[in-house]
Each structure stands twice: as structure tokens, then as C-alpha cells.
Structure 1
Amino acid sequence: MALTREEREAFLAEPHVAAIAVDAGAGRAPLTVPIWYQYEPGGIVWIMTGLASRKNELIKAAGRFTLLVDRLEPTIRYVSVEGPVLDTTPATREQLHEISARYLPADKVDAYVDFAWKEHGANVIVRMQPEHWVSSDLGSV
């Protein structure tokens, strides 16, 4: 059964690891890889990725991407959201901390942020406007 707008937005706002899919060009299937993301109901989706990464280059070329999040328990549920890129800006240390705190245990965040800020190179924030949604709760199986 499809989720209501409120249900799908609340589900997307939970800290799931998403699969991002973006057009990879002629003769290639879409690039699909796991990624951390941030979202608040009614807002925009944002991701952080390397400035020189293949993901960033493909997103720039395509101008849009899709995120898919799912879970298996207590019921099988998924939300897929797709839309245009609003902007791409240099990532800040504060944004790295925010997204890291969403996914990592509190006692690991500061050490990870220190490491990632020094070792991962320049990152960007890519903001996407949710435009098309597909969602379902398949119930207990």
C-alpha cells in the first residue's frame, strides 16, 4: 500500500542509508551506490560527496538524481524520491558533523569528523528538490 505524504516524508527523515542512482551516460546503467543523506519533512534532500568524485560529476551532468531508502522490519517499507539539483556548494565542517551525527554513535562522531575532514579531500553539498515519490508498505511478510 502506498504511503501518505506524511508517512513517506517521516520515513525519509529517518537515518536510513540510501542508494543513490544517477544517469551514467550512454551505454551505461545508472550509477547506484550507498550514501548518507539528510532530510526534514517538507524540505529538500541533501547529500555530501567528494568534489572530484564520479557521483558529483554524473550529478552535475544529469542535473538530477534518485534516492531509495528501505527497511525490512517491522514491515517491508520503501520510499524513492527523485528530483532536480537545486545547487551544489562547498561542504563545511559543520555539515560534515551534522551528517556524521545522523549515522554514527555519538562517541564516534568527533573522531570521524576530524579524520574525514583531513583525509577525504574537498567535499560538496548537493541539494535536491523532491519532485517524484514512489513509496509502499508491503506489510508483514
Structure 2
Amino acid sequence: MPKMTSEEREAFLAELHVGVIAVERPDRAPLSVPIWYVYEPGGEVVIWTDIGSVKEKLIRAAGRFSLTAQVEQPPYRYVTVEGSVTAIEPATLATARPIAVRYFGEAEGTAYAEQGITDKSILIRMRPERWLSTDYSKE
């Protein structure tokens, strides 16, 4: 399978995709759910969720998760990263807004963030430690 270079996979992950996170859970298959995220090459994957959500509880317990981003039309491409959680911190309008704007655009994203931020909102940061990638356009 045609793999991406380090630069290609980091650039791909930084593009706009709905990610799918997976996190282990006891006595069941891993939890796998779609999520919005932000990533800049060389940085951390950042997701926004709420304290008390299933994903927050499982990520906190596991201390790690994986995220997959993909293109769903040919030629198919995907990147999967996995790593340890580096921080779980309160989300503010200033820190959550860029995630919402990334997916909705300036006006709608700002409104979404303003309505979505609560005292339970958190950001979870993960530093990618392992990468898998394929780019079928290279065949």
C-alpha cells in the first residue's frame, strides 16, 4: 500500500475532516465515534467534549486514544494517529471557537461555540506517537 511521507500525513491530518476517535473500554469493543478536531503539523490533536461524556470518561481512564481522518471518495486516503493524552483542560470560548469555526465557518462557528460552551466543556490534547497512512492516488 502506498504510504504518505511524514510531511504529507501531517498536512492531511491538518486538513478539514471529521475524525473518528477510538478509545478502549473494559469488557466491550472500543468506543468509536466521529468528532471534530484541530491539528497543526508538529502539534497536538485537540478535541472538544464535555466532562461526564462517555468519551471523556474512557479517554481519562485509558490516558490515550486514536483518531482516523479519511477521504471517502476515490482515490482513498487516510491517516490514523494514536498517542497519549497530554492535557485535559477547561475549554473557553477562545479555545473552542477555532474548532467550531473550522467546521462551520466564521459566523456560524462563533455562534455554535457561544451556545456550546458550558462549565463542563473541556479540551483533550493528544500528541501523536504512532502514525498509519495510505494514499491510493500514489498507485
| Counterpart for residue 25 of structure 2 | 24
Unaligned runs of at least 5 residues, structure 1: none
| Counterpart for residue 5 of structure 2 | 4
| Counterpart for residue 126 of structure 1 | 124
3-state DSSP of counterpart to 1:139: helix
Alignment of 1:90-105 (within 5 A): 90-105=90-105
Unaligned runs of at least 5 residues, structure 2: none
Please list every run of at least 4 consecutive aligned residues from structure 1 whose deviation after the TM superposition is greater than 4 angstroms.
none
Q: In 2, are the aligned partners of 1:3 and 1:136 still within 8 Å (CA)?
A: yes
| Counterpart for residue 15 of structure 1 | 16
Q: Name whichever of 106-115 and 46-55 sits farther off.
A: 106-115
How far did 1:123 drift?
1.1
Instruction: Please give the TM-score of this superposition, normalised by the length of structure 2.
Output: 0.93
Q: State how far apart, in whole Å, the 1-side matches of 2:32 and 2:16 are.
A: 19
Q: CA RMSD in A?
A: 1.7
Identify if the C-alpha distance between structure 1 residues 37 and 24 changes in structure 2 by more than 3 Å, giving closer, same or farther: same
How far did 1:140 drift?
8.4
Instruction: Please give the TM-score of this superposition, normalised by the length of structure 1.
Output: 0.91
3-state DSSP of counterpart to 1:43: coil
Amino acid across the alignment from 1:56: E
Q: Percent identity?
A: 47
Q: State how far apart, in whole Å, the 1-side matches of 2:10 and 2:117 are.
A: 30
